[in-house]
Amino acid sequence: IWTTTPWTIPANQAVSLNPELEYSLVQVDAGQGAERMILATEMVEGVMARWGIEHFQVLAHCKGADLEHLKLRHPVYDRQVPVILGDHVSLDAGTGAVHTAPDHGMEDFEVGKAYGIGTISLVQADGTYTSAAGEFAGVHVYKADGPVCEALQREGKLVHSEKFRHSYPHCWRTKTPLIYRATPQWFISMDKNNLRADALDAIKGVRWVPSWGQNRIEAMFEQSPDWCISRQRTWGVPITLFVHKETQDLHPDTGALIEKAAQAIEKDGIDAWYDLNPADLLGSDADQYEKVTDTLDVWFDSGVTHESVLRTRPELGQFPADMYLEGSDQHRGWFQSSLLTSVGAYDEAPFRTVLTHGFIVDGEGRKMSKSLGNVISPADVVEKYGADIIRLWAASADYGQDISVSAEILERTSEAYRRIRNTFRFLLGNIFDFEPGEAVPFDRMPELDQWAMTSLAGLVSRVGASYDDWKFHQVYRAIYDYCVTDLSAFYLDVIKDRLYADDADSDSRRSAQTVLAEMLTALVRLVAPILSFTAEEVWRFMPEPLREGVESVHLAGWPTLEVPQARAAELAEAYGVVLDVRDEVMKALEEARNAKAIGKSQEARVVVKAAEDVRSVLAERGTEELAAMFIVSAVEIEPSTDGLLSVDVLPAEGEKCPRCWNYRPLGASGLCARCDDVVTR
C-alpha cells in the first residue's frame, strides 16, 4: 500500500482495491529477500522504477474483485485486515492498493461502512494517540510519521519512503494542516421520513435564477448524505439534549425538555444552557443522564432564518420569502439548509425564487487577494467615480458567472455612464419651454416621431421583462444601446434641426418635444433601480408638470407607453431598411470628408442607388424626410444596376443658410424659406 499520511497506519482496518482494475502478482527482491507483491498491472513498471528495482517477474494476473475478503496482516499490530473493494481506487498515484482507515477519511469511512467496518478512535481530541495505539500512545499525530516509519522498518514492512510535495488540507484561517478524525455526531436523516424526496419535490416549485441552479441543487440533494448538525465548539447555539450516560439514548421526555431549555435561553441567553444544573430539569433522572455540550452547525442556524426572521416579523411581508439571494457556493450551504429545515417543518420551500451570482475577480480572472495586490476597494471607487458607477458596473455584468473588475473596466463603465447621463442632459435641456398640454397626439406626429415612440415602447417592454427575469446585464445593454444608437447616433441628432430652427410653437417642434418628454419620463424610471442617485437628480431637475407632484422617482411607479401595435410593426420593418441605408450613407459621407470633398454633412447631397424593394421603402418616406434623417441637403433615389446598395456623395446645390446651415435657395433676406418664415414671425 501507499500513503502520504504514515500517522494513520495504526488505524488501518482494510486495504481497498478497485474491482474493475487488473492486478499483477509480482516477484521481487526489495531488500528483504524474495517477496511476492500485488500491484495494479498498469502501475508495475512505474512503481519498480520509483523503488529503484530493475529485476522483477510478473507471475499472474487477476481482477481486483477476485481478491475481495482476502485476509492481510496489519504491518505493525498483530491483527488481520480484509481486502475490500471501492470505486475510489484509481491509477492516479500509488500502487492501486489503498490504505483504508475509516477514522481518518471520508472515502475510507464510506467504503468501510459498506463492509460493516466501523471506527476505532485511536486519536484523541488533543491530537495524541490513545493507549490502544500501543507504542504510539501519547504521541501527537503531527510528530508520528517518524515513529511509524521506524516501526514499519523494524517489522520489515517499509519498502520505500521519500519526501515529496503534494496537496494536503489546511485550515483556511490558521493555514495549519488538518487532522481527519471520526467522532460521534448528531445527524438528520435524509431518507428516514422522506426528507430527500420531499425536498426534491419542493425544488420543482421554486424559480431558480440562473436556471442551471435547479440542476445543481437537485444533483446535490440526490447525492447528499445524512446531515451532520453537531459541532464541537465553545461557542454557538447548543443542542439542548440529555442522553443516557451508558446507552447514549435520548431522554424519553426530550420534547418537553427542549421547550424548557428554550424558555431559559430566551430569558437569560445562550449561556443559560451551559450554566444549567441538569437536576433543575431532570430531577432524580439527573444521575443517569448527561447534558450534551455539542453546538449546532452554523448552517442550521442560518437555515432557520425563515422561522426566526420571517415568521416572527409579520411586517416583513410573508412566508415564504419572495427571494433568497447569495453566491453560487450557497447551493450547498444556505439554500440547502434553508430548504431542508423548511420542508422538514412545514412541507414547503422557504422561498419562491433563488438567485445565485458568481464571485468578483480581477481583470485577469484571478481571485482578489491582498498578497497579489489586486484588491479594489469599493470606497475608493465611490470616492473617485461615485456610487452609481459601482451600481452600473454590477448591473452590466452577467452575474451567472464570475464578475471581473479592474481600473480599466471601471473606466469603461464610467464612460458608459457619461453617455447615459449626457442623454438625460440633452432631454432636460430641450424641453425647457414644453408643457404637457402642448403635447402632440401620436396620430398627428411626423413619421420619424411615431417611430421614436414605438422604439421607446419596445425599450420599456424589453427592460421590464429583463428586470422581471433578474437579467440586469440585459437591462444595462438595452438602455445603453438605446441611448447611444437609437438616440445619440440617430434620433436626437436628426431632430436638432427641428428643435433649434423650426418655429418655437410649431407642431414639428412640439412633436419632437413630446417625444423627448416621453423619453425622459420613461428612461428616468427605467434606470432608477440601477442608477438610483442619478435618477433622483434627474427627477429633481425635471419640469414640475412632468413629475405630477411625485416627490421621488422611486415613488413614481413603472412607465407605461401604449402605441398602436400594427403601426409599430409597420414602422419597425420600414425603419429597419431606412437605418441600414443610413449606415451606408454615413460611411460614404465619412469617406468624402476624409477625402476633403466636403466638410459638414449638410454640404452634401447624396444619390442612393438601390434595388426596387429598398427604393420603394425610401420613396414612401420622401426625399425631404430622408435628407433630414441623413442630415444632408438633398437626397436622390435611383435604381441600382446590379441590385446592390451604393451611395454617391456630391456637392450640395444652393447656398448655405446662415441660420440652419442647410444648403437651399436663399431669398432676399439671405435665409432659406423655412428660416425666413420663422424669423419673420
Domains of the chain: 6-154 (3.90.740.10), 187-357 (3.40.50.620), 434-563 (1.10.730.20), 598-680 (no CATH)
Distance CA 60, CA 235 (A): 58
Residue 196: band (very low, low, confident or very high) from pLDDT cuts 50, 70, 90: very high
Task: Give the alpha-carbon dihedral of 104, 110, 112, 117, to 10 degrees.
Answer: 90
Distance CA 313, CA 9 (A): 54
pLDDT, residue 203, reads: 96
User: How far is CA 497 from each of CA 90, 503, 504, 625, rounded to the nearest angstrom?
Assistant: 76, 11, 12, 12
* pLDDT > 90 in the chain, percent: 54
pLDDT, residue 47, reads: 80
Omega within 30 of 0 (cis) for the link into 210: yes
pLDDT, residue 563, reads: 93
Cell of 368: 482578489
Q: In this model, does residue 549 exceed pLDDT 80?
A: yes
Q: In this model, does residue 372 exceed pLDDT 80?
A: no
Q: What does the pLDDT average to over 261-287?
A: 90
Nearest CA to 36 out of 22, 26, 48, 23 is that of: 26
Average pLDDT, the chain: 90
Q: In this model, does residue 314 exceed pLDDT 90?
A: no
pLDDT, residue 240, reads: 93
Q: What does the pLDDT average to over 15-33?
A: 85
* pLDDT > 70 in the chain, percent: 100
Q: In this model, does residue 145 exceed pLDDT 90?
A: no
pLDDT in tens, 634-659: 999 999 988 899 999 999 988 999 99
Q: What does the pLDDT average to over 605-632?
A: 94
pLDDT, residue 104, reads: 83
If you average pLDDT over each of 214-218, 310-314, 402-406, 407-411, which comes out highest? 214-218
Cell of 241: 439534549
Q: In this model, does residue 419 exceed pLDDT 80?
A: yes
pLDDT in tens, 222-254: 988 899 999 988 788 999 999 988 788 899 999
Name the burial class of residue 388, with classes exposed (0-12), middle (13-18) and buried (19+) by CB atoms within 10 angstroms of its CB. Answer: buried
pLDDT, residue 466, reads: 96
Burial profile 432-454: b = 16 or more Cβ within 10 angstroms, e = fewer? eebeeeebbebeebbbbbbbbbb
Q: In this model, does residue 410 exceed pLDDT 80?
A: yes
Beta partners for residue 295, in sequence order: 231, 238
Distance CA 11, CA 23 (A): 25
pLDDT, residue 92, reads: 79
pLDDT, residue 536, reads: 97
pLDDT, residue 165, reads: 80
Higher per-residue pLDDT: 251 or 126: 251
Q: In this model, does residue 513 exceed pLDDT 80?
A: yes
Neighbouring CB atoms inside 10 A of 58's CB total 14
Distance CA 340, CA 226 (A): 11
Residue 148: band (very low, low, confident or very high) from pLDDT cuts 50, 70, 90: confident
pLDDT, residue 470, reads: 92
Residue 360: band (very low, low, confident or very high) from pLDDT cuts 50, 70, 90: confident
Omega within 30 of 0 (cis) for the link into 320: yes
Residue 342: band (very low, low, confident or very high) from pLDDT cuts 50, 70, 90: very high
Q: What does the pLDDT average to over 198-208?
A: 96
Distance CA 452, CA 487 (A): 9
What is the gyration radius of the CA atoms in the chain, in angstroms? 39
Q: What does the pLDDT average to over 183-189?
A: 88
